[in-house]
């Protein structure tokens, strides 16, 4: 019989579990958690992109406002 170290394991709450020994429900729950963690990571990446884009548009707006002629000012 193979040693536990040779089998894929799950560490949860400081306890190691051999994945093949888990019930189908437990394996399903592990899969759901892994999927949700992957989604969380993807959402963080997208949020970083959105925040960076907002900052860029704010910078462009600031520049446009600073370089706009004052009200009533004649532009030649």
CA dihedral 11→17→23→29, nearest 10 degrees, is 0
Position with higher pLDDT, 70 vs 50: 50
Q: What is the sign, positive or negative, of the torsion defined by CA atoms of 36, 38, 41, 43?
A: negative
Residue 75's pLDDT band (cuts 50, 70, 90): low
Backbone angles phi, psi at 72, to 5 degrees: 85, -5
Token representation of residue 35 = 């999927």
Query: What pLDDT, on the 0 to 100 scale, is given for residue 7?
Result: 93
Per-residue pLDDT tens for 19-69?
Answer: 999 999 999 999 999 999 999 999 999 999 999 999 999 999 999 999 988
């Amino acid at each position: 019989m193979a040693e536990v170290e040779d089998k894929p394991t799950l560490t949860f709450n400081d306890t190691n579990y051999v994945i093949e020994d888990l019930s189908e429900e437990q394996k399903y729950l592990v899969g759901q958690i892994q999927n949700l963690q992957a989604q969380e990571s993807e959402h963080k990446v997208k949020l970083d992109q959105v925040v960076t884009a907002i900052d860029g548009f704010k910078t462009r707006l600031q520049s446009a406002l600073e370089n706009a002629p004052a009200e009533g000012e004649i532009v030649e």
